[in-house]
Amino acid sequence: MTRLKIEISVPESHAEAVIEALHAAGAGRVGAYARCSSVWKVTGSWQPLPGAQPYDGEVGVVQRSEECRIESVCDADRAGAVQRAVREAHPYEQAVIHFLPLYEP
């Protein structure tokens, strides 16, 4: 089974809701452990383009803000469910959720 690393940036105000959503969808299992994840603060940067409805910032203006980066893992067959659950809990119009394949010898 292919395992994936998940990376999500989210405002700190919504970090716990996103963590709950990704774990409820089946992410965060490592051996005999569940709900495994890590969180740290990062600075995000974005510029909403015309037609965007940003959660934070305004169209045409480069925005920088403190965010939390959440990392976890999941089996590849859970990726769709994890993506849907995180998008439901995430406040951004365009939540970026990275799924990266893990090399496991």
- Per residue in 45-101, pLDDT tens? 999 999 999 999 999 999 999 999 999 999 999 999 999 999 999 999 999 999 999
Q: Is the pLDDT of residue 12 over 90?
A: yes
Per-residue pLDDT band for 13 (boundaries 50, 70, 90) equals: very high
Tokens of 24: 């409820």
Helix (H, G, I), strand (E, B) or coil at 20: helix
Q: Is the pLDDT of residue 36 over 80?
A: yes
Q: Is the pLDDT of residue 44 over 80?
A: yes
The residues facing 68 across adjacent strands are: 10, 41
Per-residue pLDDT band for 104 (boundaries 50, 70, 90) equals: confident
State the Cα–Cα distance between residues 24 and 17, nearest whole angstrom.
10
Phi and psi (nearest 5°) for 48? Answer: -65, 135
- Enclosing H/E stretch for 81: helix 79-89
pTM of the model: 0.90
Which pLDDT belongs to residue 1? Answer: 73
State the Cα–Cα distance between residues 43 and 28, nearest whole angstrom.
24
Give 4's contacts (C-beta < 8 A, 6+ positions apart).
73, 74, 75, 76, 79, 99, 100, 101, 102
